[in-house]
Amino acid sequence: MIDLTQHPIDLTRALVDIESVSKNEKNIADAVEAALRAVAASSDEANGITVERFNNIVMAKTNRGLPSRVVLAGHLDTVPIADNVPSTRGADKDGRDTLFGCGTVDMKSGDAVFLHAFAQLAESPDLTRDMTIIMYEAEEIAATENGLRKLAEHSPEWLQGDIAILGEPSGAVIEAGCQGSVRVKVTALGERAHSARSWLGDNAMHKLAPVIARAAAHDGDKIVEIDGLEYHEGFNIVMCESGVATNTIPDEAWMFVNYRFAPGKSTQQALDETFAIIGVGTPNNPEPGFRLDIDDESPGALPGLHHAAATELIDVTGGNVRAKYGWTDVARFAAMGIPAVNFGPGDPAFAHKKDEQCPVEMITGVTDQIMAYLTSK
């Protein structure tokens, strides 16, 4: 059985050494569930630790009636391993003591910090905030499979709290909020013909070309300030394709545009802007010869730094906070009106890499700050 009270560095290694590629999380979920049930079994019944499981999602919470509740959430799955399990420990290129292996950054070190804090503080008289811990499956694959999304649909009460902290790698710095994202597929439709008789066809790529030009000409590189944090927007063509053969007029050409927008906008506002820029109508009313499909619409998450629970977290951790670039599960909490931040060990630039690595000083540092927050008056 995994010992949750061991140092988070050692706990990280124990978790990394349990292979848990997306859709294969049963073994690690079994281990985490057994460990949390052991914590609950050894606790004073009056403190009322609850442990439940839904699919390969394991949840536990304290029920001590404390003034506020903190949700600690992390995913158990990883991307496919690349000869980087089991974990190893050694020096990185700068000579720092470092853990290497799939999941050391994304995000079993964050999981280890949270599981350790829960085990250490669940019965401690020093705990000043009730805790909910959620270890969920399938974050690294399609959003429809996401364990936190499924839990929100099945048992939304488990996500309730005054603040949610996700242990995603953030370089041991609090990252607040996140960008939203919309992605639209634009398809131009034509008629196929031999290129020697091109006038008999209708070149779909030529139809799409002005749309590409409009998207490319749009200056979507903007910085938007919210709660003192700067969110960088971007509007880009991310994929484009056409062609049947080198002697054939193409009858179809398509591209994807991706708009990463500041969290002050709704997805509908972002879609309206996207449709205005590309200028060929909307999915329900496209211009002749075009088809538009919404491929993704993920709302952003406002930083919520004005909430008392978020302010207290920032104060305890030294006030070091920045905007989050990219979309994360903090948005699921924000949609429920719960302020949420990313705060975990590891440089996200090493996530998913064969040489994925996390300096142990980050694991220790985040642990100390999380423990301090959960016990602060």
Are 233 and 220 a contacting pair, CB within 8 Å? yes
Residue 145 is among the residues annotated as catalytic for this protein: no
Catalytic: which of 25, 33, 77, 175? 77
Length of the chain equals 377
CA 206 to chain centre: 38
Whether residue 31 contacts residue 2, with contact meaning beta carbons closer than 8 Å, is answered with yes
Is 137 tagged catalytic? no
DSSP letters along 221-278, please?
--EEEETTEEEE-EEEEEEEEE-S-TTEE-SEEEEEEEEEE-TTS-HHHHHHHHHHHH
Residue type, 186: V
Is 362 within 8 Å of 346 (Cβ atoms)?
A: yes
Give the active site residue among 25, 33, 111, 139.
139
Sign of CA dihedral 330, 334, 338, 339: positive
- What are the catalytic residues? 77, 139
